[in-house]
């Protein structure tokens, strides 16, 4: 423990830390066995194209239903899986499952899969994607890979190469959570992105900070003018939708207003109800 704090620092022993380390170890073991027993699940959240008013994509989002303790969110267990080195295996599984689901959907609907930066570093993402497409029979142009900026911060050449190869295969690449990290607008130009997903913090911050709107509109416009598709995350209310629609730079919206993430079995009904809404509009 003292070692983790670095050389020259003292570490006062606290029993609490021991308990926490134990809890962590047991959580790791639980996650490992949950994954091995195929207990992880994928939920799906639609992205609505605001021009056609149809669902263009569904994003796969991991869930861990933990026996007797409700559902653990990926925000909690993905970082753990990354530290454990389990994320590459989880990522491979996710790709296969998501592609198998997507072949059952109407043809115009794509599936989006989040890929951890560690997958780019430690795994062979190109091979994994090829394997998932082959296994499922899903055409490459119906798969979107979402990466966050953090993937671009390290191992630039390797990452650029992998992203380039994926794009050449016909896969769409999205820059996820744009505006949260070390967002550099240069990334938009230097990598083969098809889509920018503007982080929901822009929208959730609007009420407190009017400047966020200026930023949001600017980022949306810039992305659109660079030829990228623009998705806005975290749309929860009608008035938020109205604000962003005004400029016409946003192509797609995602958020609780449209639908929260749902288990795969519920997608059929969601697709059908969207069609009805569209017919009624
Ligand atoms: P993300 O990729 O940005 O996914 C969107 C997150 O925002 C999801 O959280 C979703 O439930 C949530 N969300 C969607 N609409 C709204 C809204 O209107 N309001 C609010 N407050 N939240 C909304 P979730 O499912 O908890 O996932 C969190 C993050 O975990 C994801 O962020 C993604 O970075 C990561 N993640 C999820 N699944 C995977 C996966 O299979 N692999 C990897 N590597 N990461 C994943
Ligand atoms: Mg995402
Ligand atoms: Mg996102
Ligand atoms: Mg986000």
pLDDT at 3 (0 to 100):
44
Q: Out of 6-20, 23-37, 145-159, pick the least confident.
A: 6-20
For residue range 24-38, what is the model confidence (pLDDT) as tens digits? 898 999 999 999 999
Does residue 9 have a pLDDT over 70? no
**Dihedral of the CA atoms 176, 224, 170, 56 (nearest 10)?**
70
For residue range 224-244, what is the model confidence (pLDDT) as tens digits? 999 999 999 999 999 999 888
pLDDT at 12 (0 to 100):
62
Closest ligand relative to 240 C-alpha: 1
Q: How far is the CA of 235 from the centre of ligand 3 (A)?
A: 12
Cβ of 94 less than 6 Å from ligand 1: yes
Averaged pLDDT for residues 119-148: 96
pLDDT at 2 (0 to 100):
41
Q: How far is the CA of 258 from the centre of ligand 1 (A)?
A: 15
Q: Which residue, among 248, 229, 201, has the nearest Cα to 56 in the 3D structure? A: 229
Q: Out of 165-174, 183-192, 255-264, pick the least confident.
A: 183-192
Q: How far is the CA of 174 from the centre of ligand 2 (A)?
A: 8
């Amino acid at each position: 423990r003292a070692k983790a704090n670095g050389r020259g620092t003292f570490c006062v022993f606290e029993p609490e830390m021991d308990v926490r380390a134990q809890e962590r170890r047991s959580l790791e073991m639980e996650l490992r066995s949950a994954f091995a027993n195929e207990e992880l699940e994928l939920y799906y959240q639609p992205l609505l194209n605001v021009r056609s008013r149809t669902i263009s994509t569904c994003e796969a989002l991991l869930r861990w239903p933990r026996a007797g303790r409700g559902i653990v969110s990926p925000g909690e267990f993905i970082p753990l899986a990354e530290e454990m080195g389990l994320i590459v295996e989880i990522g491979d599984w996710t790709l296969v499952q998501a592609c198998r689901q997507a072949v059952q959907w109407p043809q115009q609907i794509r599936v989006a899969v989040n890929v951890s930066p560690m997958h780019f570093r430690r795994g062979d993402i190109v091979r994994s994607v090829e394997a998932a497409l082959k296994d499922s029979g899903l055409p490459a142009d119906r798969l979107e890979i979402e990466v966050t900026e953090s993937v671009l911060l390290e191992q630039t050449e390797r990452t650029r190469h992998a992203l380039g190869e994926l794009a050449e295969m016909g896969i769409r690449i999205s820059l996820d959570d744009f505006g949260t990290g070390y967002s550099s607008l240069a990334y938009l130009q230097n990598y083969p992105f098809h889509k920018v997903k503007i982080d929901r913090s822009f929208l959730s911050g609007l009420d407190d900070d009017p400047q966020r709107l200026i930023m949001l509109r600017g980022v949306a416009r810039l992305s659109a003018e660079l030829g990228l598709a623009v998705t806005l995350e975290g749309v929860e209310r009608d008035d938020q939708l109205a604000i962003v629609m005004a400029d016409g730079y946003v192509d797609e919206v995602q958020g609780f207003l449209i639908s929260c993430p749902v288990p795969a079995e519920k997608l059929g009904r969601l697709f059908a109800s969207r069609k009805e809404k569209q017919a009624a509009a």
